[in-house]
Amino acid sequence: MTSVKEQEAIRKLMAFLQEWDSAHRVARSHILDNFIKSNDGKTEPELELEFSQGASLFLARLIVWLRMTYKHSKCLNKLLKSIGIFLSAASGLTYRLEFLEGGGIMILLEILGLNHLKEQDKRESLKLLQLVADAGRKYKELICESYGVQSLAEFLATSNSAEAQEDAQVVLDSLGHGNPKYETQVCKSLIAVLPRACPYAQQLALQTLGAMQDAVEEGALVEPILCVLDSVHQEVQDQAIRMLKGLTAHGVRPALLKDLVAFLTPPGKEVLACCCAETTKDPATPRQPMQVHIQQAAAAKAIGILAKESAEVAEELIQLEVVHGLMVAVGNLDHVASQRHASISLK
């Protein structure tokens, strides 16, 4: 038989749930504000105490409202934050299972692809995905089975927000560790990001790949990494060179060094003439370094770094006639960076 105190707590819970059920959007928004303010950081036992052992009844209502309104809700950010309180609650395994059973993962991933939603809503969605991934390997696999890797990689490549890209990278990094069944898929998706992403997304993808190099076949990394050496952004180049250093310890080293040496020699006159014609159509347009020159300078820099670290690598480069290629780069009067890096590498 329940005590008077327990009966009063149950009555208050039922009144709260009835208030939610009958409330319109503005009223529900106020309820969410109060819930977030009062319960952020609470553990599962604390939430159950707050809701008289009926916290799951409120979570179920939040999940249903999310499922019904996520495409057009003006309260989406508050709704996701409220659900996040349950998902982040210590000892809150039951809450996570209820969220997953309600189709939560698919909703969060779909939010990332809805162009009309605000960036802050998508960031909140990423935070919830991270909370799910942090729960363990089984949960990471559930995200991957829901085409989560592809959705996250697409968002990383297309988002205009650096903060949101960082959030997506954190989730991808989490999915790429402690998740052997899908590590290769994560690596392949990150590799696919490199040719079409903005520089910062390229940098983030390279950082994540660098931490996962042992999980992917080295041969699959060489070409994508070499291709980003023509980036005008120093951070991207530096991250690519760091990865190339790691790859020289593997069987792909001969092919990698051969390609680097080849970058030192500019293409034929026909290609250069074409590139020059494109950049000089408007005489008022400042002359920009061609990608082949940027790539040449980056290759010269990478060669110097690799040769300095290993006498064996330096010997292999000499056998590949790297000195001739570096002399060509030193003589590139159209690109000072090529001259500078080639001179340092020669020395």
Q: Give one DSSP letter per residue of 36-59, joined into a string.
A: HHHHTT--HHHHHHHTTT-HHHHH
The CA distance from 159 to 122, in Å, is: 10
> Is residue 288 scored above 70 in pLDDT?
no
Q: What is the pLDDT of residue 1?
A: 47
CB 168 within 8 A of CB 126: yes
Indicate whether 328 belongs to any domain. yes
Q: What is the C-alpha to C-alpha distance for residues 229 and 222, in angstroms, rounded to an integer?
A: 11
Question: What pLDDT score does 270 carry?
Answer: 36
User: What value does the mean pLDDT take over residues 103-130?
Assistant: 97
Q: Please check the confidence at residue 252 and state whether its pLDDT lies above 60.
A: yes
Q: Is residue 340 part of a domain?
A: yes
Q: How far apart are CA 209 and CA 294, in angstroms?
A: 23
- CA angle, residues 245, 156, 79, in degrees to nearest 5: 140
Is 115 within 8 Å of 66 (Cβ atoms)? no
pLDDT-based confidence at residue 218 (cuts at 50, 70, 90) = confident
Count how many Cα atoms sit within 13 Å of the Cα of residue 223 in the half-sphere of its side chain.
Answer: 6
Coil vs helix vs strand at 79: helix
pLDDT (mean) for 95-114: 97
Instruction: Check whether 341 has a pLDDT greater than 90.
Output: yes
The count of other CB atoms within 10 Å of the CB of residue 199 is 15
pLDDT of 271 higher than 50: no
For residue 315, is it within any domain? yes
Over range 202-225, report the average pLDDT: 89
Number of domains in the chain: 1
| pLDDT category of residue 268 using cuts at 50, 70 and 90 | low
If you average pLDDT over residues 337-345, what whole number do you get? 96
Coil vs helix vs strand at 332: coil
Instruction: Give me the amino acid identity at 169.
Output: Q
Let me know how many helices (H) and strands (E) the chain has, helices first. 21, 0
- C-alpha distances out from residue 228 to 48, 194, 221, 261, Å: 52, 7, 11, 16
Does residue 313 have a pLDDT over 70?
yes
Q: Is 277 helix (H, G, I), strand (E, B) or coil?
A: helix
Task: Compute the distance between CA of residue 137 and CA of residue 121 in angstroms, rounded to an integer.
Answer: 26
Cα 331–Cα 195–Cα 261 angle in degrees, nearest 5: 30
* Domain span holding position 314: 229-273+286-346
pLDDT score recorded for residue 289: 62
What confidence score (pLDDT) does residue 219 get? 84
Q: Residue 283: pLDDT above 50?
A: no
Q: What pLDDT, on the 0 to 100 scale, is given for residue 308?
A: 94
| 104 is a domain residue | no
Structure tokens at 89: 């609650």
Q: Once rounded to an integer, what is the mean pLDDT over residues 247-254?
A: 90
Residue 254 lies in a domain: yes
Within-domain flag for 252: yes
pLDDT at 215: 77
| Domain assignment of residue 234, yes or no | yes
Return the pLDDT at 149: 98
Residue 201: name the closest of 215, 189, 213 by CA: 189
Query: Which of these ranges, 173-182, 267-276, 306-315, has the smallest mean pLDDT?
Result: 267-276
Cβ neighbours of residue 341 closer than 8 Å, sequence gap 6 or more: 297, 298, 300, 301, 304, 329
Task: Tell me the mean pLDDT in the region 191-206.
Answer: 94
The pTM assigned to this predicted structure is 0.88
Average pLDDT over residues 26-55: 96
Q: Return mean pLDDT, the chain.
A: 91
pLDDT reading at 224 higher than 60: yes
Give the pLDDT band (50/70/90) at residue 249.
confident
% of the chain beyond a pLDDT of 70: 93
Q: For residues 305 and 236, give the distance between their C-alpha atoms in angstroms, rounded to a whole number.
A: 16
Residue 34 lies in a domain: no
